[in-house]
């Protein structure tokens, strides 16, 4: 991940225990990615295949970005390195 700015509010990503909103957002993104991947690899994708592949890749990047931010925030809370 490229360098992040110092104005990130890390506390927003440092909750403890279950976070139903986080779980639902991540689940929804994962399902959306799966649907786009299935659409891209399906027999009816035709000349839109690259478009659907791009959508699936973008959703994956957002999901990974959120997960990485969460991991970094937890690491900062527990005294891990930047």
Q: Write down the pTM of the prediction.
A: 0.77
Contacts (Cβ under 8 Å, ≥6 apart) of 8: 69
CA dihedral (29, 33, 35, 36) positive or negative: positive
Contacts (Cβ under 8 Å, ≥6 apart) of 45: 39, 52
Q: What does the pLDDT profile of the chain (82 residues) look like in tens digits?
A: 556 666 888 899 999 999 999 999 999 999 999 999 999 999 999 999 999 999 999 999 999 999 999 999 999 887 765 5
What is the rounded distance in angstroms from the CA atom of residue 48 to the CA atom of residue 32?
17
Domain ranges of the chain: 19-77
């Amino acid at each position: 991940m490229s360098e992040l700015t110092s104005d990130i509010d890390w506390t927003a990503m440092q909750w403890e225990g279950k976070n139903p909103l986080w779980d639902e957002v991540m689940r929804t993104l994962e399902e959306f990615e799966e649907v786009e991947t299935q659409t891209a690899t399906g027999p009816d994708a035709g000349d839109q295949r690259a478009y659907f592949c791009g959508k699936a890749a973008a959703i994956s990047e957002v999901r990974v970005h959120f997960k990485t931010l969460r991991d970094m925030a937890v690491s900062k809370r527990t005294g891990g390195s930047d």
